[in-house]
Amino acid sequence: MITMNDIDVTDKVDFENNDDELLPLTKCICGQKLTPWTVILSIYREDPWECECGAKLYFRNAIRVFNITDEEMSYEDYREMCRTGEV
């Protein structure tokens, strides 16, 4: 059985800012330069953009939310403070 793997190639492509579920690609992993918004990657793995070089590309959003605090504390301590209404 052949399985297909997803390989992170973010550092090998160029792109502009995404718009919800779309990402304008400006350079493929093969080095081909692309005009912004002429090639648009989707977040759906089932619908990749396919380059002439054979690459099948899609993208994922990875959002991280951070809390800035002056105190050193563990995540568990912070959760407890939130639970008790101290934050």
pLDDT of residue 47: 92
Q: Give Cα separations from 16 to 20, 35, 51, 60, 73 (angstroms).
A: 12, 10, 18, 14, 37
**Digits of tens for pLDDT over the chain (87 positions)?**
555 789 999 999 999 998 878 999 999 999 999 998 999 999 999 999 999 999 999 998 876 677 677 777 777 777 787 888 876
E runs forming strands in 6-83:
14-15, 22-27, 40-42, 49-50, 56-57
pLDDT of residue 50: 96
Q: What is the pTM of this model?
A: 0.67
Q: Give Cα separations from 42 to 20, 36, 67, 70 (angstroms).
A: 9, 14, 30, 39
